[in-house]
Chain A
């Protein structure tokens, strides 16, 4: 957990494919405890599905993409976001990081979504493949450094 203190905000961000829920893109900023994040994110899918199924029926059209805090664990907060095409985004942040408000998380998701859209627009990208985009990489790194500057 020592490492998490150093890079304390954005721990991991994940994009998941719409139907099979296999990961399209996983990026964990301290890469040491990646396994744990895999488990955490995978488990969070249950909550995402629950939220979609409860909220989805009522107002399928103007559903809010941002799902909010999925659940807090002892060390992390897990946030979710689902596009209309059921692509799921999950961001896990350190729960000690109190400065991240809902709005910031929301904008992070929006950036992530935009970046993902760019990737999908790439004619050379084969939908369903793991994303290996450099633009995506820098964007996610940017999310992190952005916040860094913000916090300091």
Chain B
């Protein structure tokens, strides 16, 4: 139970007060009416006595009466009926609301901090009104009239006559039996004669004389002259008069016969109006003005609650009364009580006591014995059934049992509780023995109360009396009103004794179905009991609060219901009891809504929807609908910016992505637009890195090698992965897209309509007048966007800025609705319209967490994220790139011609167009020297990509080409290619179409090739220095041919032949074997490959001759076939530039020295591989290099092929080229570099690599120093019969391949160790010197004449000489055996 303003004692005393009736003459009534008050009302504020009264009890002991209050009412007021009481109580409760802004006390219980108002004034108001509205009953006398005031005005012609009349009237009312009401305590009621004198109006002397007369007649103690209305004029507004009536007057409602009440709603809405306004016209005491009475009751109550009303201004009450008059009234009451009432009561108590004592002589026991003996009497024999229903039992008014009760009540009223208790106790015994249960219960109740009130507490409070009383009232007598009164008293007493648990049980027991208001109030008090216990029971408190709130709402007390739920919410909030929490929130929402607090309602509903709800789908949809309805009824602000926040759907702000630029175009026929960047692409760290590197490269080239220190790669798509510390740039008149991620947590689909972005724009130039919003930025609106149940979905919202300035995207605005599952279409539409509400949600993106300084590490700080705050810059050029005839699949090495179109779609000229790529070997725009014949792509469609010319099939043609002509300078590959524009500028709207050759990658598989087109505007100081366009091409390369080539040293030395040939051969020649294999696996597609031409490129070598059997044999390779080509290469003298020679196999010669063949040749391969040999050795000791040089070739072979492909029943001819780089003699080179695969396997090494061991020329290399060759006649005829010895001259030619002096030792002695050579029959011997030592100068060719001697005819191998060589400088090194010459067979014929 909550704390009360009154103490228990005060409360109980005030509940039972002596009742005094008033009978007023008409004139007297008129006098009081001047003050807008009836006579009882006039007295009411002064009814509490401030001084102590005294009286003597039957034992002549003085009883002190403290703080007595009397109740003065008109004699004709009747108790209201139950319905009225109900309404009245309901108003009293609803009119009493907790004051707002009052600091509620905080109770801490366990983990809970609860904010609960400690007092419950509405409960006290209810209790007060309830007790006062108790009808007087027969079984108790407490609220029977003890006395009657007869009031007569002094203006009356004959006041004494009037007094007589009134006296008779009173007598008639009491004794005639016509009236059941009012009830009178004692037959001879005290009559008190009051002469009312109006000072302003009457003759004071006359009044005094009349009073004198009265004194004579009624005695000084039985009459009084009350002078009032001393104020003559109306009270001036400046004069402040206390108005003691205002706070009492609503109580008159209880006793005034109020016929009808206005609807309670009016009363509830009213408190907003100034309370005093109504009071002026209010006349609550008067039955004629009922509706006003209600309102004033309301307002008066609020006044009492502490709403400050300074100077109760020109109120109608007591207008004619001065403070003196107040004092006079007070004096009058005191006089009446002490002189009239108390002596009267004292007398009666004595009288009753005497009666009882006298009767005691007969003895109670005897009396009851006779009753038993004779039966009958006043207590009839009762059946058991009747016994139970003893409520009907009535004692006659003069029954001795009732006399005891009467005496007890009198004693109680004058606060003589000791005597009262003993009397009640006696009465109780009597009643119980008579089975008069109602009477017994009443006595029990009062006995308990008086026992409690006894000062000094001689006996403990008999709680069981109360319990029995309540039970009897309720169960036996079916009198809930009395039971309730009893319970209220008992609970208050228990509370004062800190027996909260008992009080709570008592209160909860009293709740029942018949009265919601009472149940609600009692449950609330019970809840307060739980929280006030020594160990507070928070959850019980909360639960009972909810029960109470439920009952309040049933009783129509919405405000109280809401308060209860809100208090209970504090306990349930955030504890995981989701169902309960949702239920409370839902109820709070509903109640708030009906109380027109839509903000609170929205907040409560919002809470249900935000949390992950565990409710069922239907429940959720109900919640949602309710929320939408409530929200809709909330007055809608017109301004978009001030729209309230919507809770649904959830927006994942951090996942918001922003894209600057146009939506990508789809391919138009053959035209294929550059892929660029779009929101569909997932963020890929590697890709981003790759693009950034490419951009850095191209920027470096554009800025002549330097990259600005603050270089940042252009980002078109900003997401949580990108760094968003800087304000991004957007270009005016170019759209930007914001991708927002929505999640619907509900099991109900949500429909968002009119979804658009909310932004703020700060313009740069303030001079220009601001146009409409759409002139600044056009905002795209998505008409409808559905998020399914528990779905996550993205919405792309577009903005198109028209002005330069700073843009801030704040959030999104939309209509939230739900899809109604309606069968009828038309109804569905109307429903849908109803269910939409407009609101916004902000996009607040938190930047990444900072973690640099110590301060940042220890605290949680986030950096800024400026994704949504772009700066709109002036127009920039915008490039669009289209590819025409761009293939998706190519054979390895295939050459395809495509076209590329550059279009400047902006209104600003474009310059500095460049392209960078990850695979520069993949494409070429042709060399600068190549004549760019502007052929339309259609015309060139079926032509060969190569440039051809008809020539007679000659063996070789030599052209000199310099790589510089193809844009290759130095060793690095050109990753950045500048695209020539006419005049260097691509004007607005202009398009440029240029051919583009593509070459299939050497490795099979899918290749992603990235192109980065770079361009800039003409303005140099623009914020955006440059722009880029990205394109990613995917090429599927399938296998074509595999080319392997080996070179070996030719052994032929200059001999016969033409002179020039000999010259060439002198400097060395080589055999090149080219193995070509068709490794294409798709037999259906590619029918066969033709080798069209083989070209070579080298600084020192050229392909000289194609060695073949049949001059015009073509090389056709079907699937899985293999062919071998053999060439002779000769050293050429031209050292400048690269030579290009070709050998062709058909009539047409492909000019391999021009675009595209040469382009691709120069762009071929990863450069690292090619450069590894040459430069490294230059720093080595000369010897090694010399040794190496001699076995080194630098010959690139280009194999040009044609493939016959069947595609869609059409035969196509595809062309291509493959490159093989020959580097070392004898080492096989392949068109497919095998190295890359190996690279993938390389382990990470953290130790620095050991320096490569001092490069010593390997044995193998050293064995190539000297080339040997034997010259001899192939067959020799010798007449053996004549001459047994055959001498054949043989020349051994030694050729020094190296560029250093070489010491050579030639050993002719037979030292064949291998058994094989033994078998070769025929031993022959060399004649003459068998060991030579020579020194050969660089590149010297030395012939050594030898003589071989044969003994018989046969075939002999002359290749026995062994040659050892060593470099002349390196003394230490021993000679190395040179590669043995091939078997040199000679046939000796015997003639």
Contacts and interface: CB of A to CB of B under 8 A. Distances in A.
Nearest to B536: A46
A150 interface: no
A42 B577 CA distance: 8
Contacts of A38: 577, 579-580
A34 B540 CA distance: 18
A76 B1173 CA distance: 94
Contact of A46 (B537, B546, B572): B537
A43 B571 CA distance: 11
Interface stretch (A18-26, A88-96, A116-124): A18-26
A35 interface: yes
Contacts of A23: 576-577
Contacts of B537: 46, 50
Given A42-B543, A46-B537, A46-B539, A20 B575 contact: yes
A53 B538 CA distance: 15
A4 interface: no
A73 to B, nearest CB: 11
B618 interface: no
A45 interface: yes
A35 B575 contact: no
B583 interface: yes
B238 interface: no
A34 B579 contact: yes
Question: Interface centre among A23, A42, A49, by most B CB within 10 Å?
Answer: A42
A35 B539 contact: no
Interface in B1306-1326: none
B733 to A, nearest CB: 53
A53 B577 CA distance: 23
Contact of A43 (B110, B535, B540, B579): B540
Nearest to B538: A46
Interface string B840-872: 000000000000000000000000000000000
B1060 interface: no
Given A23-B577, A35-B579, A42 B572 contact: yes
Contacts of A49: 110, 535
Contacts of B111: 20
A50 B579 contact: no
A42 B583 CA distance: 14
Contacts of B572: 42
Nearest to A37: B579
Contact of A21 (B535, B575, B579, B583): B575
A46 B535 CA distance: 10
Nearest to B581: A38
Given A42-B539, A42-B543, A45-B539, A35 B583 contact: yes
Interface string A1-40: 0000000000000000000111100000000001100110
B589 to A, nearest CB: 16
Given A20-B111, A42-B572, A53 B535 contact: yes
Contacts of B530: 46
Given A46-B538, A53-B535, A35 B580 contact: yes
A150 to B, nearest CB: 30
Contact of B543 (A34, A39, A53): A39
A37 to B, nearest CB: 9
A35 B582 CA distance: 10
**Chain B contact patch, size range:** 10 to 19
Interface string A36-61: 00110011111001100100000000
B570 to A, nearest CB: 13
Interface string B539-554: 1101100100000000
Nearest to A130: B576
A22 B538 contact: no
A53 B535 CA distance: 10
Contact of B539 (A20, A34, A43): A43
A60 to B, nearest CB: 18
Contact of A42 (B110, B535, B580): B580
Nearest to A54: B535
A50 B546 CA distance: 21
B539 A22 contact: no
B511 to A, nearest CB: 12
B419 to A, nearest CB: 43
Interface in B767-815: none
B535 A50 contact: yes
Given A20-B111, A22-B576, A23-B576, A39 B535 contact: no
A20 B573 CA distance: 12
A27 to B, nearest CB: 13
Question: Interface centre among B542, B572, B576, B583, by most A CB within 10 Å?
Answer: B576
A21 B111 CA distance: 10
Given A22-B575, A53-B535, A46 B540 contact: yes
A34 B583 CA distance: 11
20 contacts: A20-B111, A20-B576, A21-B575, A22-B576, A23-B576, A23-B577, A35-B579, A39-B543, A39-B546, A42-B539, A42-B543, A42-B572, A42-B577, A43-B539, A43-B542, A46-B530, A46-B537, A49-B535, A50-B535, A50-B537
Interface of A: 20-23, 34-35, 38-39, 42-46, 49-50, 53
Given A39-B546, A42-B542, A53-B535, 11 more contacts: A20-B576, A23-B576, A42-B580, A43-B540, A43-B542, A44-B539, A46-B530, A46-B538, A46-B540, A49-B110, A50-B535
